[in-house]
Amino acid sequence: MTGPHSSTHAPRSPNRPAVLVARAVFPETIERLRRHFEVEDNPADHIFDKATLAAHLAGKAGAFTTGSERIDADVLAENPQLRVVANMAVGYNNIDVPACTARGVLATNTPDVLTETTADFGFALMMAAARRMAESERFLRRGEWTRWAYDMFTGSDVHGATLGILGMGRIGQAIARRGALGFGMRVVYHNRSRLAPEVEASLRARYLDKATLLREADHLVLVLPYSAQSHHAIGAAELALMKPTATLTNVARGGIVDDAALAAALRGKRIAAAALDVFEGEPQVHPDLLAVPNVVLTPHIASATVRTRRAMADLAADNLIAALTGERPPTPVNPEVLAAGGVLPPR
Ligand code: GLV
């Protein structure tokens, strides 16, 4: 089929907006963006430092970013022509949203499409910690398994236990559903705002203050956004409130947990085990965490299924295309900067 609307290669025009795709992404996503924009991509997948990122953004109206690109006030100041930052992640703590809003720059994220996938992984990590899967697998691989023993790698049950959720947004609720409906868990949670009674009832979830949540949970899962307020929300004082048999799982963001304090709590058996997909300063991992056996460590892959990563890339592209072609982007973070027909022109 040929014709003006079926071509995958729209004619190049100097009037088409320029965008930067800051990390390697699906070739199909790049192809799609090229139908609308002059695209600078990064197939070698270099990680840009701040100055390099700002330089690559020169002349770009849009940026397709991931959590590894920090869009801060300086980067924005160097690029006053930038109109949209489309983040391929639900979290957007890599973007200074107030600074974007002040400059009329739209930020978008990728909620919803990763909720169930991330909840699956959070639940799997929690189970792995409770049942000591990584620790026992390492033991087997080391050739140390020579006989059965009544107390070999005894952990704690997940079914029927108390599931504590800190941060009860979409992903927290999806984890609560798995626990309550699939595993007969008693679900307790703490969140900035309490859920509506009918939502609590559907999840069979009970609201607690944070300290009581920490005391009551057999398995605590963190699913809250990272911010100055949630920095080190779990440190030595909070870990001290937890049961010695409890587990802690973090699928939210590094920095919510004080990793050094957690490693000390794991080493001292202050809590039984932990499972972490995110780390302070990742991809660096605190050496003390690498040295303790009772922690499962994964490299920030909670949303990493092929289908979900495609959906995230598609949604980030939808946002970028809509915002720069006068449509309403599906998932804006700061919709107050939207004009009736897309993003406002540069101030
Ligand atoms: C991943 O961490 C995300 O925020 O999507």
The predicted structure's pLDDT at residue 209: 98
Asked whether the predicted pLDDT for residue 347 surpasses 50, the reply is no
The answer on pLDDT for 289 being more than 80 is yes
Atom of ligand 1 nearest to the CA of 253: 2
Tens digit of pLDDT for each residue in 323-340? 999 999 999 999 999 975
Judge whether residue 10 has pLDDT over 80: no
For residue 205 the two structure tokens come to 């979830």
231 is catalytic: no
Q: Is the pLDDT of residue 5 over 90?
A: no
| Token pair 């049942």: residue | 131
Residues with Cβ < 8 Å from 317, sequence gap 6 or more?
A: 29, 32, 33, 64, 86
Give yes or no: 31 in active site.
no
Q: pLDDT category, 343, cuts 50, 70, 90?
A: confident
* 223 touches ligand 1 (CB under 6 Å): no
Residue 225 CB less than 6 A away from ligand 1: no
Q: Which of 69, 108, 118 to mutate to test the pocket of ligand 1 (most atoms within 8 A of CB)?
A: 118
Distance 89 CA to ligand 1 centre (A): 4
Residue 108 CA to ligand 1 center (angstroms) comes to: 13
Residue 87, beta-bridge partner list: 65
What's the pTM value of the predicted model, to 2 decimals? 0.94
Residue 95 CB contacts under 8 Å (≥ 6 apart), including other chains: 65, 70, 71, 85, 87, 107, 333
Average pLDDT over all residues of the chain: 94
Residue range(s) occupied by CATH 3.40.50.720 in the chain: 18-111+306-339, 115-297
Q: How far apart are CA 186 and CA 146, in angstroms?
A: 37
For helices 133-141 and 115-130, angle between their N-to-C axes, nearest 10 degrees:
60
Render pLDDT for 106-153 as a digit per residue (tens, 0 to 9).
Answer: 999 999 999 999 999 999 999 999 999 999 999 999 999 999 999 999
Q: Each residue of 14-67: pLDDT tens digit?
A: 689 999 999 999 999 999 999 999 999 999 999 999 999 999 999 999 999 999
- Residues above pLDDT 90, as percent of the chain: 93
Q: Indicate the CATH number for domain 115-297.
A: 3.40.50.720
Query: Average pLDDT for residues 156-175, to the nearest whole number?
Result: 98
User: How far, in Å, are 36, 113, 165, 311 from residue 318 at the CA level?
Assistant: 11, 13, 32, 10
Residue 185 near residue 127 (C-beta atoms within 8 A): no
Active site residue 192: no
- Residue 303 Cβ inside 6 Å of ligand 1? The answer reads yes
| CATH architecture group of domain 18-111+306-339 | 3-Layer(aba) Sandwich (3.40)
Structure confidence by residue, pLDDT tens digits, 305-321:
999 999 999 999 999 99
Question: Which residues is 38 bridged to in the sheet?
Answer: 18
Q: Percent of the chain having pLDDT more than 70?
A: 94
Give per-residue pLDDT as tens, 277-288.
999 999 999 999
